[in-house]
Structure 1
């Protein structure tokens, strides 16, 4: 299979590597964060495997299946967002740390992600505009209320009262 894929690799949108045993395979995938293993048997404790146990196979169908598997891997890789010691699963809308999970709303996730991407405190006006899509200058306490409730949820679940901190010119992830 490797030799066939190697021959047509110019028509593929992924790289081809060969590993003939599990140790080499483990060493090889350590260098990649986006990979798919095509194998004739399933390896334990290795992610992103496509087991090819039906042969012969139409090469165009094979390439289509491989691309679908890559899309699945990419979707799963993009579904997690790491902020400090927490992992936010965008698909399930959960924040987790040390096997403790907290359900979040879409706005809470968007707020955390927006704050985490900023190196400086983010003003209430900027959060209103960028996260809530409000026009600037509208008098509302939506941001303050949401941040207050979010901080309270994080404190109750993770006992962390310093995750989102207030500065004189806005909010910031600590």
Structure 2
């Protein structure tokens, strides 16, 4: 199944060329000729690249093809590289509440403030955010720290305490990680 989508925006000649090659491509090709349809298409796809023949300031994930003529193989290579970049950037960003976590730089952002996190802090945040129920210390020890649950340690509590303090000091958010009687939770 192809999950990469190339949207050709106001560049009909390119669309027809890529349609002829359709069976040999590892991405879907769609044509859009107006901004409303473009916005509708973008909402439907997690991973898409918009290819144009001139720069449009209101378009993200845009690849401007302005060096024509170009060989078909070079064009396909450039499109694949741009699709990989887009996919990488989409996978490196994690949204949670009013925050954005950049997994590559290990930073959390909100309100024009950024805070550096450790890998364990990011893993803890992601693990907690994916659970609908409070997560016990034993489960965090096993899943995030890879400790056996029968080991006596306060590693989890210490890390959670420090992480909550960092979030509070930087973002003034005292409710980021909530303590429940049966564990920790991010809502």
Shorter-chain TM-score bucket reads: over 0.9
The answer as to whether partners of 1:22 and 1:43 remain within 8 angstroms in 2 is no
Distance of 2:35 and 2:113 partners within structure 1: 33
**Which structure 2 residues correspond to residues 87-106 of structure 1 after superposition, within 5 A?**
87-106=100-119
Cα separation, 2, equivalents of 1:46 and 1:148? 41
- Looking at structure 2, the residues matched to 108 and 28 of structure 1 have their Cα atoms a distance apart, in angstroms, of 35
Q: Does 1:168 align with 2:181?
A: yes
Cross-structure match for 2:91: 78
Cα deviations by residue, 1:8-44 (Å, 9 ceiling, x for unpaired): 1222122111123555434543433321122221111
How far the C-alpha of 1:173 sits from its partner, in A, is 0.8
- Paired residue total: 174
2:156 corresponds to which residue?
A: 143
Q: CA deviation at 1:49?
A: 1.5
Structure 1: which 5+ residue stretches go unaligned? none
Q: 2:68 aligns with which of 55, 78, 86?
A: 55
Question: 1:93, CA displacement in angstroms?
Answer: 1.0
CA shift, 1:132, in A, is 1.0
What's the RMSD between the two structures over aligned residues? 1.6
Once structures 1 and 2 are overlaid, which stretch shifts more, 11-20 or 21-30?
Answer: 21-30
* Residue aligned with 2:30, SS: coil
> Secondary structure of 1:17's match?
strand
Measure the CA separation in 2 of the matches of 1:166 and 1:22: 46
For 2:142, the equivalent position in structure 1 comes to 129
1:138 Cα deviation after fit: 1.0
Q: What is the TM-score with the length of structure 2 in the denominator? A: 0.86
Superposition TM-score, scaled by structure 1 size: 0.92
When structure 1 is superposed on structure 2, of 21-30 and 129-138 the one drifting more is 21-30
Any unmatched runs of 5+ in structure 2?
1-13
SS at match of 2:55: coil
- Judging changes above 3 Å, is the alpha-carbon distance between structure 1 residues 24 and 118 closer, same or farther for their aligned structure 2 residues? closer
